[in-house]
A = this chain, B = another copy of it.
Amino acid sequence: MASLDLVNVQKSFGPIKILHDISIGLQDGEFLVLVGPSGCGKSTLMNIIAGLEEPTAGSLKLQGRDITNVAPAERNISMVFQSYALYPNMTVAKNIEFPLEMRKVEKSARAERVKSVSKLLQIEHLLDRKPRQLSGGQRQRVAIGRALAREPQLYLFDEPLSNLDAQLRVDMRTEIKKLHQRLKATIVYVTHDQIEAMTLATRIAVMKGGVLQQLGTPYEVYNQPANTFVASFMGSPRMNLVKARVSGTGGALSLDIQSGQGARVSIALPPSATPAGLQAYAGQEVIAGIRAEAVSLARDGMVAGPTHCFVDARVEVIEPTGADTLVVLNLGGNEFTVRLEPDAPLKPEQNARFLIDLSKLVCFDAKTESLIA
């Protein structure tokens, strides 16, 4: 396995700049998950790593070797394409075998490998079919199988599980995780699935409009988002972001949440949960971010802990998702989504009291939208 360094990689299609100065350094055996809104340049970046597109500027190093001008075939990289790109003239087995054949792997070893990969992906019964006789999910698994057949220095997966059902997805995710651990493979992985990103990544790169927003561990990205974009992009439902004014001084700051027309809400911040940088914003406006799961329904007789506080809000919408219930509140005139147990005893239009875990609170500069740490 190998380390991968992207140095100031840029890409334009004609006049349109798709990637701006992307620099990422990956250690041997890292699992990088690329996330970002549709069209932000993830696949383009993957193609550049694979050598299928030339970067307009910048360079790439694999295991210290400059590969900017190396042909894809000589990079020793495997890739699962977002669009599958199965070979229509070959059966499933042949598709999987192809990269091995190209690397001159012996016939019996190939057959072995096809067998084990197809077993892993539960497509053994499809080995003799042509791509056009497969369902969407089956095609996607064949595409994965083709990439897994080899053991290259680097794997690239572009949304490999998007067409699989939830169970299979969990299975495949586990398999990929195992694979990563077993082979100590370096992997770059694009996904839109939050859970995939959180569970698989050793590091997550969040992109937006071709610009790298944050590169960090899943914990960092989730709990210390570099800016409001990352904050609201990661996590579902998205983080609640509300404008608030910082008041008080010294050790005891509090946030006053602006009220459009609703009642004004003031939240006192416990010193332990106050970012150091927030002091400088006293009297100014910031953006406060609280995740939906940091709020719970206050039960009768509960007492707020040192990092908790109570707020009263009006219930607007209730959306049961099975495992939980999402409730949209009106908090000081702002929409505020919280996640509660499935059988939370609430009805639309009622008022209720909620408990906020302030240790999960993050604040952003109102102008630059970056994290105040």
Residues of A participating in the B interface, judged by any CB pair closer than 8 Å: 13, 35-44, 82-83, 133-138, 140-141, 158-159, 162-170, 192-195, 198-199, 218, 222, 232-238, 291-293, 319-324, 339, 341-342
Of all chain B residues, the one with the shortest Cβ separation from A194 is B166
Q: Are A322 and B235 in contact (CB under 8 A)?
A: yes
Which among A133, A135, A141, A237 has the highest number of chain B CB atoms within 10 Å? A135
Q: Are A135 and B166 in contact (CB under 8 A)?
A: no
Q: Are A165 and B135 in contact (CB under 8 A)?
A: no
Can you list the 10 inter-chain pairs with the closest CB atoms, starting with the nearest? A38-B137, A162-B162, A39-B135, A82-B136, A165-B192, A222-B322, A293-B323, A37-B165, A166-B236, A39-B138
Q: How far, in whole Å, are A159 and B165 apart by their CA atoms in the complex?
A: 10
Q: Are A38 and B141 in contact (CB under 8 A)?
A: yes
| Residues of B with C-beta under 8 A to A140 | 38
Which among A158, A165, A232, A237 has the highest number of chain B CB atoms within 10 Å? A165
| Residues of B with C-beta under 8 A to A319 | 199
**Copies of this chain per assembly:** 2
| Residues of B with C-beta under 8 A to A138 | 38-39
| Other-chain residue from B82, B162, B198, B238 in contact with A321 (beta carbon distance below 8 A) | B198
Q: How far, in whole Å, are A232 and B40 apart by their CA atoms in the complex?
A: 35
| Residues of B with C-beta under 8 A to A292 | 323
Known contacts A13-B133, A83-B136, A136-B43; decide if A322 and B37 are in contact (CB<8 Å): no
Of all chain B residues, the one with the shortest Cβ separation from A162 is B162
| Residues of B with C-beta under 8 A to A320 | 198
Contact sample, A vs B, 12 pairs, CB 8 Å cutoff: A37-B165, A39-B138, A43-B135, A44-B135, A83-B136, A137-B192, A162-B163, A170-B237, A194-B321, A195-B321, A198-B322, A235-B322
Q: Are B237 and A168 in contact (CB under 8 A)?
A: no
Of all chain B residues, the one with the shortest Cβ separation from A236 is B166
| Other-chain residue from B39, B163, B233, B291 in contact with A166 (beta carbon distance below 8 A) | B233
Of all chain B residues, the one with the shortest Cβ separation from A164 is B38
Of all chain B residues, the one with the shortest Cβ separation from A138 is B39
Query: Shortest distance in angstroms between A16's beta carbon and chain B's nearest beta carbon?
Result: 9
Known contacts A135-B43, A170-B237; decide if A324 and B293 are in contact (CB<8 Å): yes
Known: A39-B138, A198-B322, A222-B322. 7 other contacts (CB 8 A): A38-B163, A38-B164, A38-B168, A43-B136, A162-B162, A194-B321, A198-B321
